[in-house]
Amino acid sequence: MAEAHQAVAFQFTVTPEGLDFHLSREAVRQLYLAGISSWKKRLVRAKNSFLTGVYPASPSSWMVVVMATAGSFYCQVDPSLGMIARIRHCLPESRLLSYESRTMVSTVIFSTGAWLSAVLLFRQALKLLLSYHGWMFEPHGKMSRSTRIWVALMKVLSIRKPLLYSFQTSLPKLPVPPVEATITRYLESVRPLMDDEKYSKMEALAKEFKEKTAPRLQKYLILKSWWTTNYVSDWWEQYIYLHGRSPLMVNSNYYAMDFLYVTPSHIQAARAGNMVHAILMYRRKLDRGEIPPMMALGIVPMCSYQSERMFNTTRIPGKETDTLLHLVDSKHLAVYHKGRFYKVWLYYGGQPLQPCDLELQFQRILDDPSPPQPGEERLAALTAGERVPWAEARARFFSHGKNKVSLDAIERAAFFLTLDEEEHGYVAGKEGCMDTYAKSLLHGQCYDRWFDKSFTLVVYKNGKLGANAEHSWADAPIIGHLWEFALATEKFQLGYTDRGHCRGEPNTQLAPPQRLQWDIPQECRDTIESSYRLAKALADDVDFCCFQFSEFGKGLIKKCRTSPDAFIQISLQLAHFRDKGCFCLTYEASMTRLFREGRTETVRSCTAESTAFVRSMGDARKTRAERQRLFKLAADKHQHMYRLAMTGAGIDRHLFCLYVVSRYLGIQSPFLAQVLSEPWRLSTSQTPQQQLKMFDLNKYPDHVSSGGGFGPVADDGYGVSYIIAGENLITFHVSSKFSSSETDSKRFGRNIRQAMLDIAELFDKPAEKAGK
């Protein structure tokens, strides 16, 4: 009863004598502390907004300018060239403002104006410097004079420690490439995939498009690039993600795994408590802008825009298109366990709950014997099925009453937590353990993840954990940044007791988690069941192979004098050719975060150079030296294409935007229709590693990450994600569909392993022996 009384500030009853009023001092105290915390957060945000707005200057630099100007003026040296006197003349004369006071006010006004002018000048200079990308195309280990000068200027202008968004307005806009250059690169990319007849037809379509249709579309696109921050990102989010009507599960959402070898605690509630607290620590830093921006070369900032919607964000289904609901703040967490939904408050007295308090709350949920309400257990299957039935059910059954209140509790939560009943993770010698782990994170039981939330944290019964993330609001490196912080903080900062519990003594007076209440009619249950059957069929069709390649890592790859990414991409081309006997259109995700609000660009990894090398590997007449030469050409070509994509000179986002403009204008383009209908039968992505460097991986080699993965993009294709973890480990996540007779994830995994070894053998004999 004491906990119930704390839930309300006051109670009253009507008696014959009048109103009997009872005030809960503890509840009022909690409201007061929460209000103080909220105002503190607003003040911090206002302060950080100001500091971000004047970067690379600082308030102290303003004081220096004011004092220097005042000192010079009173030494009878007028640095303002008469401006201070003019400002003083414009100030009204009064008893309150003496001549000296007006002189001081005029000096402050002039100094402030001069300081703001300098800030604007420095920011424009920074923007011009960030528009230089010549450093990216220079040979490894070499630096031109112009790049050295650029590096020196960048270090001078960014000498002050930046906040997360300090560089945002200084980042350049994504440029619109020339149509001719894009079409030339496109034709070059499809040449190895087409015979002479098909290529001639495509050339004719491209020529007609370039001469007749493209100039008009390009003008509209350039106009859009002038008045928008990024000419691609809003359309990419809207049409590629939010307009999609197929299930998010498998098709769009992706996952992240736990440490590969280490499980800090095998107690489910304790692991959940520490991890949730670590995530809240990240959110606090994010709200305050205290996380430094990601930097290339340590001096080139990347766009941080995607981080804004990491928390308090949910994708809301619509009949024609979805929308993203993002709240400034959320003070609770939505939790799922054994078919039941809970609301857990994350704050007490205006302060975030400590890990031991969170462990207590989660243990209360685990110990709760109450059964699910009718229709509650598989409710989340609505988020796993197609979007239109979910949108209709949401509007009809969840727009009023207790259902709306409970749905709001989920959609307005900071994020979603699943306390899973299964056990997963890497077990030495147990075949297929990583495959089932990957499938569980990708789709679970189809009803125990809320696939619409920005991300769902999954904690298993044995203490292993992972995450499932919705894709529309951000790309995988953003979640990867959070994930690295949370895992490192949980293990090396928060820690556990000897028995595996969270440190500290929990507050047993906390009100228990709140069960969400539902009133789900039979018609809605039928819709839930229909979505579940569709999602279950989709999940059962996913063929996954997750394996560790430990024969060598980036250490040996660098001896080949190429980038590890290029080595793996060429290995995938060789593996795919051996697997299917042909080449295919290949997608590799590259980032464009060197530009403001940049997201991704496509690197078309199947090139004429890579196919020539792959064919040489099956040609007994080719010598080892010839194969090495062809590999070097293929690797150099891949790296050049990757750099082009990163610097805004890619192919696919430009063509996509031209297609969107053509649809708006009602123009039919056979060339664009053909380009956008081509399937990506090999979709690949590298998971970034050690973005934060919060611990030394050489010192703690058993704390390597397993990375993450995604489902197959094409029904008859493969999805491949890989993470280069340390010097001697690469983890691959391979997905396909059982329903396709052309694919087999385990077979493709074996082909990848052998391709890696065969290419390494060209440069290093011991690699072959290690593989055997």
Residue 146 makes CB contacts below 8 A (sequence gap 6+) with 134
CA distance 758 to 545: 21
Token pair 């249709």: residue: 213
Backbone φ and ψ of 64, nearest 5°: -60, -45
Which amino acid is present at 95? R
CA distance 348 to 311: 19
Which amino acid is present at 120? L
Contact (Cβ atoms closer than 8 angstroms) between residue 211 and residue 180: no
CA distance 77 to 63: 19
Strands 332-337 and 351-352, sheet pairing:
unpaired
Angle at 170 between CA 168 and CA 176, to 5 degrees: 95
Token pair 């299917």: residue: 580
Adjacent-strand bridge partners of 589: 602
CA distance 272 to 336: 12
Catalytic (active-site) positions: 471
CA distance 291 to 299: 15
DSSP character string of 256-277: EE-BSS--S---HHHHHHHHHH
Residue 378 makes CB contacts below 8 A (sequence gap 6+) with 339, 447, 528, 529, 532
Q: What count of other Cβ atoms lies within 10 Å of the Cβ of residue 109?
A: 17
Q: How far is CA 562 from CA 36, 580, 626, 631, in A?
A: 55, 26, 17, 10
Residue 663 makes CB contacts below 8 A (sequence gap 6+) with none
Q: What count of other Cβ atoms lies within 10 Å of the Cβ of residue 3?
A: 11
The torsion region of residue 370 among left (phi > 0), alpha (psi -120 to 50) and beta comes to: beta
Collapse the DSSP code of 739 into the 3-class scheme (helix H, G, I; strand E, B; otherwise coil) and give the result: coil
Q: What count of other Cβ atoms lies within 10 Å of the Cβ of residue 309?
A: 18
Strands 708-710 and 718-724, sheet pairing:
unpaired
Q: What count of other Cβ atoms lies within 10 Å of the Cβ of residue 666?
A: 6
Sheet (strand 254-257) strand order: 514-515, 340-345, 332-337, 416-419, 455-459, 465-469, 254-257, 708-710
